[in-house]
Structure 1
Amino acid sequence: MYDTPAVSMAQLQELNSAETVVLTVNKRYARRLLGHLSARLAGAGGTVAVPEIVPLGAWLAQASDQLCFSEQWQPAAHQMDRFAALQRWEHSIEQCEEEGYFLDVGQAARLACEADTLLDEWNIELKPGEASIDFERFMQWRSHYRQSLEQADLDDANLAAERVLKAVQAGALHMRHRYMVLHGFHEYSPRLQSLLMGLQNMGVEILQLQHEEAQATEVHRVQAQDADTEWRLAVQWARRQLDEDPDRTVAIVAAQLETQLPLVHRLLRQAMHTDQGALPYNVAAARSLAEWPVVEAALAWLKALFTLATKGQAEPAMLGQALRLGACQAEQSEAGGRARIDKAWRDNRITQVSRKEFADMLSFHTPELALAWAKAVERFESVSAGAQGVDTWASVMRQCLEALGFPGTNRLDSAQFQTLEALEALLLQLAQQAPVLGRISALKAQSALARMARENLFQPQRDPRSRLDVLGFLEAEGGRWDAVWVLGLTDDILPAAVKPNPLIPAQVLRRVQAPRSTPERELEWARWMLSALLRCGNQVLLSAPLNQGEQELRPSPLIAHWPVLEMPWAVQAEQAVAQEALLDEQGPSLKLEERIRGGISVLDTQARNPLWAFVKFRLHGQALPDYARVGDMNTRGVFLHRAVELFWLHVKDQDSLHELIGEDSLLDVVQVCIDQAAQEELADYGPVLRSLEMERGLAVLSQYAHQEAQRPPFALGATEQELSWSRGLLRLSLRLDRLDDLADGEQLLMDYKTGIGELRPDKDWLRPRPVNLQLPFYAAALQDEGRTVSGLAFVRLHARQVGLSGLAAPGMDIEGLTELESAQQWTAQIAQWKQAVEGLADEFLQGQAANQIWNRNDLLYCDVLPFLRLFQEDLQDNGGEVSC
């Protein structure tokens, strides 16, 4: 461990500020130290100079820039940031692993970048026989990577640091400071030690600032049943601390804050509420810049614009994201128009939108946005459509966003304004990648910007009024509050498990004691971190949950010796309060002017959950349908339905089917039907996917035709038959897939199913409130017309299974159909279906809207589930009947 003389804060102030530089371990330490010095000097009055305070990384960058004037140690023409370095690593890995050795090249690049720095930072040299296969492969990447940097005249941070070290050791770096004071370093890597010794040899005096606050005077341990309870206790404690003293500052420090943010924000919103408004608090958890709404909208609009402008078409999901996020011209006044465009794509199952179609829809629904869109397209087309440097594309992106009216008409708050500043900095960072990325297409430039936004973390500045800070271990290090609660201190967190870099042999990392390499090193770090946390406040509470679900947890052994603090004031569970129940399950009756659309699904939904039917068909509320995708199950089902319909238009009846089989021409007819159905329904498919679907459809339809030929004699009665049905003010339009005429005037109703989901006609149709009602409904309706329906059948059309399943009267003798015991039972069953259908219709007409279900599976495809507030874990089984 490198040993340096220590100086106090007072001694630091006595040093000549012009001759002194303070190097901190990170930016956070630099900001805090500047704040401490400003506070100490403020009382003295007048103007006092403070020394230069910079993080180590910034100082190395400054030193590297200074070497530009040195002929021997001159750095490369361009120094890459981390994003550019990772891009280069990925390129080198892809070049060295042409067979696609890695599924995640990005992760391999991050590990390689870390391993590259470890080798130089810790002076790692392998002994004979220590190299592993992974290490040898990494060294090939490293060689290619460094050669590519040399050819392109590029530096990364690691190479720049090495160059600065060698220049210092050679005495070639001009130092304008006499004193260098280190702050926040708890260890010194071999490279840093060599650098400091080189600076000492140049006459620089190296000192270490001793600015550690005193250890807490009150330290207690808190036991919590689980993590939720632990957080609730900590938040309650923080609110009590703030109420007791209006000048008190409080911190909650969490080991894994990012994983619990939703719970944390909810608890804080509840606890910090007052009659005068919410008490300000700060949660120091940065998240990806791409997740902030303003940036997300900008990225969505750029992706939509660049895709349409270069490819001429785009998927509606991509365009719909931009329309929904807004932040554009006429953001508020044309929000409804943008929503209608998005809804139309979903409802009409659109898979691709052309550039002209998009512009036309904007003109019709959002005229102001349409003008802005045209200007943005014009700005884009003012640049050549070919490859350009990213500095050019960054400028085009700014101009296009400006033309679109970004960031919209809403007034920006402080956090949104800071987010916009971060986006501008991101565009500047993109422009600086020109030497690395070279000339690329517009879409690649947009993709690079989106990736940078995902990899850059952003957090708005802390509210200066806040007296409560919620932050992680590293963010809390070096801070000071009056009272601190540190939670999540289980034995797997403090100390943490080792995590050595897998590209460097583990025994080599252990030998040099590299970070995260040994349990002993993790224990040392844990002790140091706990000591730092205990200096964050006068009063410190340490806690760990005892359980996580069914798993038992143990507190860290490092905190076990402190006494447990009893908290009699704590409310660990919500106290029960008197509740008033209001049963509201009766809506108004159906009115004459109401138009109900939905066919038999109206009654089917009423059978499953009356409130669902009321919300969907009376209030017209439902979840937005998903965007159509090429190859989705709905398109496949429509294709097979159409193929079967065309087949029976060609074949006419079973006798014709037998003739085709006898003439060995059935396959030709099936192929014609498949070709026509594919031309009509698979127009959006690519040639390969269309060919695969047609091959599958040919096999399914051929197998189905042979099974139909083996059935008892039948004649095709009707296909795709329309039927109108009414009861009172309820009028429904229905379509029947197929009706077969059997011997003795009997009829068989059939419905095609192209999915692989379970078909349960015996269970679904024989319930007191039957579901999947289409065939039972038709049977009751045709029975009223004097026809004799003797069977109901689902026809499964799937590559895994082709066949029939259903219910029938005795004597049908069709494979797959379950026959009832007697003709009287069948007649009674049809009468029961008729009564059930009419009863469900009467319930709907009367406005009955009970939030009640009779089978948990009935809500599997419910599109208003949040409205019903029925969730799987909340359903209580009550003798087969389930209600909320």
Structure 2
Amino acid sequence: MTVSTVDYETLFEALSSGLNLVTGNSRLARVLASQYSQWRIGRADRQWESPAILSWDSWLGTLWETAGLRGAENTTRAVPGSQQLLSLWESVLRDDPRARQLLRPESMAGWLRDTRQLAVDWRLDLNHPCWFGDDNENHTAFIQWNRAFDALCRRQHWIAPEDRTAILSRAVLDGDFPLPARTGLLGFDEFNPAQLELIDALGQAGRPVTKLAIKPAESSARLWKSYGVKDELQQMARWVRYWFEQEPGARIAVVVPDLQTRRQEVERHLAEILTPGNTRGKARPWNLSMGTPLLRVPMIESAFDLLRLLRRRIDIQDIGRVLRTPWIRGAASERNSRALLEKCLRDHYPRQLKLTEVRYRAGEIRQHDLEHRDLPPDQWQARPWNSPDMVTLLNQLLRFEQKNRGKRAPSAWAEAFGRLLSKLGWPLNDETGSELSEQEQSEAWQAFQAWQDALRELAALDATVPVLDRQPAISQLRQICRERIFQPRTPPANIQVLGLYEVSGLRFDHLWVLGLHNDNWPATAQPNPFIPGRLQHKARLPKSSPQRELEVALGITRRLLETATDCVFSYPGQIEGEPALPSPLLNEGVSVVESIEGWKGESWQSTVSAAQPPVTGPLLMPGPLEHGTARGGSSILKHQALCPFRAFASNRLAADGLETPVDGISPMLHGSLVHRVLENFWKETLNQQDLLALDDEQLAARIRKHVDAVIDGERSFNDRPEFRRVEGRRLVRLASACLVLEKERDPFEVIGFEQEILQEIEGQEIRLIIDRIDRLPDGGEVIIDYKTGKVDPKKWFGDRPEDPQLPLYSISADQLPSAVAFAVIRDEECLYRGVVTREGIFPGLPQKRGAHAAAISEAGLQMPLTVANWRQVLHRLMADFLSGEAAIDPKNGRKTCDTSYCKLQPVCRIGELEASDRMRDGEAAR
């Protein structure tokens, strides 16, 4: 193989005269094809044949096809596609007892596929004794799995992709098919033994191959140290814009060693400097070489979100993504109702729910009035979350789920999935298309074409996987989309963002290489765990040793220095607070500089930073509330005390965060069930005397009866017998413990349960529901509120009581209460906490211990004064709320926000306010 250095003009002349050019990667082939077209246009050519430029893998495929058409030996066997190859390895693992315990056999299949390719390409001796030593069982396991794989391929007439090179080399020497007269190789840092074998065979067959290298640029290289990672990215973006404006036609490249992981942050900094005011969907002036897995494309993710609904139970997060996706029918017209539907589901259902429950809520019609009386059909009203198009979509999913069960061929599943998604209006429909820009429509169409290719690849699994169930078919499709890289075609751009290994064969005017610190370059060795280390070192396999990586890094560094006339290498001075040093490979041929040229304009961040601090003036409150328009009952006063802004946002604007449903039974449902059991018990038992008249067996039977009745009435337990059993036992245990306490009280009679009261405060009507009211022998009344969580009566007191519920009940009662208390019913404890006018009303009250026990006891002894103080405080809080008092003023700062689970912090931005206050305090101190 001869070596020749050429410039682009000479290379394009050779291509126009029939040179067959093979490149080291697909990107280089695409770039050279585009540059060749521009060269032709510059010569005023009107038409020309497409140049023969192929990547190595594509060229190998072309040779294989030609050899097969000519009947070359062993070329009639089929070559499996990527997913077919993985499925063959998965089949091998399924048949091996040692591999059945693997959690992710598809991941192991990928390792074995890559290991075999390494072993074949680098001509490792698979019979060497070191494979069978006792030091590492992975080596022996691979050999055995590989033999099983070879046997499976022979039985099913497959030929692994990596085995083609050896067969083609023999076919070339045998003269079995015609070969190109001239072949050039460009963009290869090294060749593995299999490639050299084929290249040597071509030479022996009279078709010599030339390794081409683009003439090196006369480079001026600089090394610059940034303060940190963010500073490095910002300066890089400014440097790019500087040369983009100074030399509009210049070819500019940014090389990022770990581009796959840093793609988003690199793009973000380029966008902030190059296109700060860019509207959605406009073409960008740069191009990224590395695409993203098709599975991560939002449109494709939405397809899998839809397919994920084909399960018996569905996670609320999956439902939420489907309700919010713009890629299905009705997404625009039902945007608001679907958002309300998600809130409804989060408020009323556990984390796991059935599709029929979603359908019921999506089509819900209000057929009863506020008193739960039936309304005539002409007065029925759709709920705010009623979404007819979503109901249609869910019906189609349910029908598909019912009709498509059992095992089918992969091709049948591919057709079924495609047909289902089309019925759902995915991905492009009239609504979607109208909301996309031209560029977005182009990228969406390309993603859809890639999806169609993925479905075809799933269908091709018929050859290796005869039949499979629906969920495994979806998993196979996910794997295909995870492996398939999607890179939408975009207009040509002079700014290129590349990985380290993609620069070979390209030339630029300006080049910036990011992140070359001592921990990053040379790269860390990553030996293959399935190949003996001795063989890896002897064959010098990629990533096999630090010495191997050092040599590779030296070669790439030299090539980078030859890639552009102006080269900048940079590294961050510190990473995550730790100091960093430059790569030792940059000690020669690179001059250290303190600064780098860059665009001097203002970014939006610098504009904000340099702006005058805001002048704080009198806060304009929202204005008084018209009576009757607030929502929330006692929560108005609670929120006003916790933080006036929260009351304004939540109770006046009806703004709040979404609930996060829990697995199993929510705390709210736990409390509701306890309430209902005790309510039913006391409706039958009536007073303490009747309770004491029951013996243990009668009491247990009565508790069990009411627990069963409540459980039977709870729809969420209908098809969850395990939850039903566990919750039934818990309710019996809690009710029994609570009634033990009730026996220790002074005599009482239950006179009210779930009693509704309408109370007016400052003209605002509040609807209250008191859990329970007892009457004592002296005629006094006791207000009880059941709690299944932690409580603290001290939160009832002060100018801003954090829990004003029972004080509100107290001022609303017809007579001064003898006691107000929480009945705390928890697995950890059952007790009373509250304010009493005397001992004996509740066991354990008044409290004798605790930081605030004395003050709470005194409040009970002074009950008339206590209630009067509560009335004054609650009226003042309501007056503040009605007047529009909405200051962002949580009672105890961020602690109040966290402990009260406030979800409005992104709205009030209290974190930014506190940061501003700290900055102002610091300036005052200076």
Q: Is the pair's TM-score, using the shorter chain for normalization, greater than 0.5?
A: yes
Q: CA deviation at 1:318?
A: 4.1
1:792 aligns with 2:821: yes
Match of 2:550 in 1: 523
**1:167-186 matches, cutoff 5 A:** 167=171, 171=174, 173-186=176-189
For residue 231 of structure 2, the aligned residue among 226, 229, 232 is: 229
Distance, in Å, in 2 between the alignment partners of 1:685 and 1:375 is 23
Match of 2:711 in 1: 678
Any conservation in 2 of the 1:183–1:209 contact (CA below 8 Å)?
yes
Cα distance change, pair 473–709 in 1 and its aligned pair in 2 (3 A): farther
Equivalent position SS for 1:208: strand
1:852 aligns with 2:857: no
Any conservation in 2 of the 1:130–1:505 contact (CA below 8 Å)?
no
Q: CA deviation at 1:673?
A: 3.2
Distance, in Å, in 1 between the alignment partners of 2:446 and 2:775 is 73
Q: Counterpart of 1:328 in structure 2: which amino acid?
A: I
For residue 536 of structure 2, the aligned residue among 493, 505, 509 is: 509
**1:711-790 matches, cutoff 5 A:** 715-716=749-750, 718-740=752-774, 749-754=783-788, 759=790, 761=792, 764-782=795-813, 785-790=814-819
Any conservation in 2 of the 1:7–1:207 contact (CA below 8 Å)?
no
Q: Tell me the alpha carbon deviations over residues 799-851 of structure 1, each in whole angstroms, 9 at most, x when there is no partner.
A: x5555555666746744974542654443554443333222211111111111
For residue 216 of structure 2, the aligned residue among 213, 216, 225 is: 213
Distance, in Å, in 2 between the alignment partners of 1:644 and 1:502 is 63
Q: Counterpart of 2:542 in structure 1: which amino acid?
A: P
For residue 302 of structure 2, the aligned residue among 292, 297, 309 is: 297
Equivalent position SS for 2:725: helix
Q: Tell me the alpha carbon deviations over residues 295-349 of structure 1, each in whole angstroms, 9 at most, x when there is no partner.
A: 3334444554xx28xx6x8666545433321333455334344445444434443
Match of 1:578 in 2: 612
Q: CA deviation at 1:874?
A: 4.7
Q: Tell me the alpha carbon deviations over residues 501-524 of structure 1, each in whole angstroms, 9 at most, x when there is no partner.
A: 223344442333222221112222
Cα distance change, pair 568–515 in 1 and its aligned pair in 2 (3 A): closer
Q: Counterpart of 1:563 in structure 2: which amino acid?
A: V
Distance, in Å, in 1 between the alignment partners of 2:508 and 2:15 is 31
Equivalent position SS for 1:723: strand
Any conservation in 1 of the 2:240–2:252 contact (CA below 8 Å)?
yes
Cα distance change, pair 505–742 in 1 and its aligned pair in 2 (3 A): farther
Q: Which moved more, 1:552-561 or 1:17-26?
A: 17-26
Match of 1:408 in 2: 429
Any conservation in 1 of the 2:232–2:570 contact (CA below 8 Å)?
yes
Q: CA deviation at 1:385?
A: 5.5
Cα distance change, pair 788–547 in 1 and its aligned pair in 2 (3 A): same
Equivalent position SS for 2:766: strand
Match of 1:85 in 2: 85
* TM-score, scaled relative to structure 1: 0.86
Equivalent position SS for 2:571: strand
**1:594-743 matches, cutoff 5 A:** 594-626=628-660, 630-660=664-694, 662-681=695-714, 682-709=716-743, 715-716=749-750, 718-740=752-774
Equivalent position SS for 2:658: coil
Match of 1:498 in 2: 525
Q: CA deviation at 1:422?
A: 2.1
Distance, in Å, in 2 between the alignment partners of 1:537 and 1:80 is 41
Q: Tell me the alpha carbon deviations over residues 250-274 of structure 1, each in whole angstroms, 9 at most, x when there is no partner.
A: 3333233444455444433332247
Any conservation in 1 of the 2:359–2:394 contact (CA below 8 Å)?
no
Q: CA deviation at 1:546?
A: 1.8
For residue 253 of structure 2, the aligned residue among 241, 251, 254 is: 251
Q: Counterpart of 1:669 in structure 2: which amino acid?
A: R
Distance, in Å, in 2 between the alignment partners of 1:595 and 1:853 is 24
Unaligned runs of 5+ in 1: none
**1:274-353 matches, cutoff 5 A:** 280-284=284-288, 285-304=290-309, 307=310, 318-349=318-349, 351-353=353-355
Any conservation in 1 of the 2:94–2:100 contact (CA below 8 Å)?
yes
Q: Counterpart of 2:704 in structure 1: which amino acid?
A: Q
Distance, in Å, in 2 between the alignment partners of 1:192 and 1:875 is 61
Distance, in Å, in 1 between the alignment partners of 2:577 and 2:208 is 57
For residue 574 of structure 2, the aligned residue among 542, 547, 550 is: 547
Cα distance change, pair 674–372 in 1 and its aligned pair in 2 (3 A): closer
Q: Counterpart of 2:20 in structure 1: which amino acid?
A: V
1:195 aligns with 2:234: no
Equivalences, count: 860
Equivalent position SS for 2:582: coil
**1:11-160 matches, cutoff 5 A:** 20-40=19-39, 46=45, 52-68=52-68, 73-75=73-75, 78-97=78-97, 101-125=101-125, 126-128=128-130, 129=133, 132-160=136-164
Distance, in Å, in 2 between the alignment partners of 1:818 and 1:872 is 42
Q: CA deviation at 1:402?
A: 3.5
Match of 1:391 in 2: 411
Any conservation in 2 of the 1:804–1:817 contact (CA below 8 Å)?
no
Match of 2:4 in 1: 6
Q: CA deviation at 1:231?
A: 1.2
Q: CA deviation at 1:27?
A: 0.5
Distance, in Å, in 1 between the alignment partners of 2:487 and 2:408 is 32
**1:832-843 matches, cutoff 5 A:** 832-843=869-880
Distance, in Å, in 2 between the alignment partners of 1:427 and 1:477 is 34
For residue 482 of structure 1, the aligned residue among 503, 509, 519 is: 509
For residue 870 of structure 1, the aligned residue among 891, 902, 910 is: 910
Equivalent position SS for 2:183: strand
Distance, in Å, in 2 between the alignment partners of 1:706 and 1:524 is 80
Distance, in Å, in 1 between the alignment partners of 2:529 and 2:871 is 69
Cα distance change, pair 264–650 in 1 and its aligned pair in 2 (3 A): farther
Aligned residues: CA RMSD:
3.9
**Identity across the alignment (%):** 24
Q: CA deviation at 1:113?
A: 2.0
Q: CA deviation at 1:699?
A: 3.8
Q: CA deviation at 1:700?
A: 4.0
Unaligned runs of 5+ in 2: 366-381, 922-926
Any conservation in 2 of the 1:795–1:804 contact (CA below 8 Å)?
yes
Q: CA deviation at 1:586?
A: 0.9
Equivalent position SS for 2:717: coil
Q: Tell me the alpha carbon deviations over residues 513-572 of structure 1, each in whole angstroms, 9 at most, x when there is no partner.
A: 222221112222222232333333221211111223333323222235531232487789
Distance, in Å, in 2 between the alignment partners of 1:98 and 1:214 is 55
Distance, in Å, in 1 between the alignment partners of 2:771 and 2:416 is 54
Q: Which moved more, 1:384-393 or 1:718-727?
A: 384-393
Distance, in Å, in 1 between the alignment partners of 2:153 and 2:833 is 68
Q: Counterpart of 2:444 in structure 1: which amino acid?
A: Q
Any conservation in 2 of the 1:752–1:797 contact (CA below 8 Å)?
no
Distance, in Å, in 2 between the alignment partners of 1:872 and 1:795 is 38
Equivalent position SS for 2:254: strand
Distance, in Å, in 1 between the alignment partners of 2:226 and 2:15 is 52
Distance, in Å, in 2 between the alignment partners of 1:732 and 1:780 is 12
Q: CA deviation at 1:31?
A: 1.7
Any conservation in 2 of the 1:280–1:467 contact (CA below 8 Å)?
no
Q: Which moved more, 1:626-635 or 1:447-456?
A: 626-635
Match of 2:375 in 1: none
Q: CA deviation at 1:651?
A: 4.7
